[in-house]
Amino acid sequence: MPRHTIFLDEPPPPAGLPDGLLTIGGEEAKHAVRVKRVEAGEAVRLLDGRGGVYSAEVVEARRALVVRVRERRTEPRVTPAVEVWSATPKGDRLSQLIEGLSQAGAARWTALLTKLGVVEPGEHKIERCERIARESAKQAERAWIMEIGPPARFEEALRPPEGTRLVIADRHGAAYRASGEAAVRVLVGPEGGFTPEEFDAARAAGAEAVGLGPHVMRIETAGVIAAAIILGAHRA
pLDDT at 1 over 80: no
Domains and CATH numbers, the chain: 4-74 (2.40.240.20), 81-233 (3.40.1280.10)
Predicted confidence (pLDDT) per residue in 175-228, tens digit: 999 998 999 999 999 999 999 999 999 999 999 999 999 999 999 999 999 999
Amino acid at 95: S
Q: Cis bond leading into 2, ω under 30°? A: no
Report helix, strand or coil for 31.
helix
Mean pLDDT is lowest, of 69-73, 94-98, 182-186, for 69-73
Q: How far apart are CA 69 and CA 46, in angstroms?
A: 9
pLDDT at 236 over 80: no
Which comes out higher in pLDDT, residue 60 or 15?
60
Arithmetic mean of pLDDT, 117-140 = 94
Sheet of 4-7, strand order? 4-7, 43-47, 52-61, 65-74, 21-24
Arithmetic mean of pLDDT, 230-235 = 95
Arithmetic mean of pLDDT, 28-41 = 87
pLDDT at 54 over 80: yes
Predicted confidence (pLDDT) per residue in 22-34, tens digit: 888 888 888 888 8
Distance of CA 68 to CAs 12, 22, 23, 65, 126, Å? 12, 6, 9, 10, 36
Predicted confidence (pLDDT) per residue in 163-173, tens digit: 999 999 999 99
**What is the pLDDT at residue 81?**
98
Compute and round to an integer the Cα radius of gyration of the chain. 20
